[in-house]
Amino acid sequence: MKETAETEQDANTRWWILVFVSLLMFGNYYVYDSIGPLAEQLERELQFSDTKIGALNAIYSLPNIFLVLVGGFIVDRFGAARVTLWTTAICLAGAILTASYGDFVSMAAGRLLFGIGAETMLVAVTVALGIWFARGGVAFAMALSLAVARGGSYVADLSPAWASSIYERGWQAPLILATVFAALSMSFAIVYWLVDRSSTAPRPLSQAPVLPEKVRWQDIRRFGLSYWYILALCVLFYSVIFPFRSTFAIKYFQHAHELSLQDAALINSYVFLAAIFATPLFGWIADQYGRRALSMVFGALLLPLSFIGLVIGSGGLWLTTVLLGISFSLIPAVLWPSVVKLVDARKLGTAYGLLFMMQNAGMTTANVVAGWLNDINGAGADNPSGYSDMIVFFAVLALGAFFFAVALWRRETSSLRHGLELPDRAAPVAARDVT
């Protein structure tokens, strides 16, 4: 792919690129979230413990604790389009293996293979959008692509309703359906690769190169305290959201609140539905009006409050869903762009690489711990109170996230602020690293 001055044809091409990469992310997110709706069937039909069910998502994150450190180097060396094609092929192979056999080792190996491809693919897609929208609109483009990707999670959660006949055939059929989505994801990767290789990407107005996800460990010591608060908030927040909502929530709703699979999946899906529409909106508001740290405080406060609804009856599930939906839309919309204002542009690759690494470490640990707590307490349809320790565990993590959000807000309203509370037109970018 060559870089040149932007032409009208290139301007049109970049929107097609956005469509193709967004749709391939849609399929990828569907495959990731295909385990949650199937959790109760895996327990009933294959006698999987909650520890094993949690491990199926934990093992996705495990390789990315390490691979995210080199994913950017791979993209930088071989190009975003080519790496996207390779990694979606790896994801498809992982989905096929997951659906092929009914033993835990084979399914875990499939999820591991899927995870190896998925996160590097997301890095490649991020770089691709950075290249094609280098002359403007990159934040909006990334917000739209994330919104479409969340649609994959939403459709996966609703699959017990719209694909009920498939679920009635047993555990394997829904995973075969997920494989179909992985194949569609790869087909869009092929189209993106073909369009990319026959087109030219516009050169950035500043003529500056696109930053890869490079990790330079010597730069970490210069990161200021605000960055470390955001890192802690990121790890704790995602260690609650994804392990709970994507792994255990549907099964918990079925057992603790006596909901059908379809009803439990429907309630869970609304969290992702909210993110589809609200995340771009919250990002636009932050750009226009600032108050990013305060927004993170509000979003983090809703996280522990959402668990109150889990103990006040079935009606409280809607309260939980609303609060989690707002939190899951608000925090990602302001957290990731805020890093740009805290870290020098030459060190953004290191900063984001460390965030992704620690996020995956937290998600891996939380999935395993939650499953282990359910198993040692005998959680299940006959013993719904056995889920209590898992709920307490997630609530404690949520309180920790709120604590670090408050610490960030206090620092960003002091003399050591970096402009997180200011709108874009008035805020400095990466004012300093060391404070």
What CATH number corresponds to the domain at position 393? 1.20.1250.20
Regarding whether 309 and 229 lie in a shared domain, the answer is yes
pLDDT at position 315: 63
Rounded to whole angstroms, the Cα distance separating 353 from 66 reads 10
Rounded to whole angstroms, the Cα distance separating 380 from 115 reads 28
Tell which of 150, 181, 203 closes a domain: 203
Regarding whether 190 and 220 lie in a shared domain, the answer is no
Tokens of 333: 């919309």
Regarding whether 163 and 45 lie in a shared domain, the answer is yes
Regarding whether 25 and 160 lie in a shared domain, the answer is yes
Rounded to whole angstroms, the Cα distance separating 11 from 170 reads 47
**Domain span holding position 169:** 1-203
Q: pTM for the whole thing?
A: 0.76
Regarding whether 252 and 128 lie in a shared domain, the answer is no
Regarding whether 225 and 138 lie in a shared domain, the answer is no
How crowded is residue 104: how many other Cβ atoms within 10 Å of its Cβ? 17
Rounded to whole angstroms, the Cα distance separating 159 from 164 reads 7
Contacts of 134 by beta carbon, 8 Å cutoff, 6+ apart: 201, 202, 203, 204, 205, 210
Regarding whether 235 and 198 lie in a shared domain, the answer is no
Residues forming a β-bridge with 201: 3
Regarding whether 198 and 175 lie in a shared domain, the answer is yes
Regarding whether 260 and 169 lie in a shared domain, the answer is no
Q: Which amino acid is at 259?
A: L
Regarding whether 422 and 284 lie in a shared domain, the answer is yes
**Closest to 390 (Cα-Cα) out of 402, 403, 382, 379:** 379
Main-chain phi, psi angles of 89, to 5 degrees:
-65, -40
Our count of domains for the chain comes to 2
Tell which of 182, 203, 224 closes a domain: 203
pLDDT tens string, the chain, 435 residues long: the values are 544 445 555 668 888 999 999 999 999 999 999 998 998 899 999 999 988 988 898 888 888 777 776 776 677 778 889 999 999 999 999 999 999 998 999 999 999 999 999 988 887 887 787 678 766 566 677 778 888 998 998 999 899 989 999 999 999 999 999 999 999 999 999 999 999 887 765 544 444 444 444 455 566 777 888 999 999 999 999 999 989 988 888 899 999 888 888 888 888 888 888 888 888 888 788 877 888 889 999 999 999 998 887 777 656 788 888 888 899 989 988 887 787 778 776 666 667 777 878 898 999 899 999 999 999 999 888 899 999 999 999 999 999 999 999 999 998 888 776 678 777 665 554 444 445
